[in-house]
Amino acid sequence: MELNRKQNDDRFWQRLVLPEEDRRRLYPAMARSGSYRWFRSANVIDLWPYRNSVEKARICAILLRKVP
């Protein structure tokens, strides 16, 4: 049931947000905001689940501009 909800959420956002390949081509100067993004390519893998807690904290600090 949770997987079905996640798939529905993804489909919803994919209707609203350009795939990353198109966004970079159409708006090359636009900086990434860190919001939802998706890739049309099937060979893109989400690496977040494979990162340890130290790496995740470092990445979050950088994204939130709280670099020590």
Output the pLDDT for position 1: 66
Residue 47: how many CB atoms within 10 A of its CB?
8
Predicted confidence (pLDDT) at residue 59 exceeds the cutoff of 90: no
Query: Are 20 and 27 a contacting pair, CB within 8 Å?
Result: no
Under 8 Å CB-to-CB from 27, ≥6 apart: which residues?
none
Statement: the pTM of the whole predicted model exceeds 0.85? no
| pLDDT tens-place string over residues 5-45 | 878 888 898 888 888 888 888 888 877 777 788 888 888 88
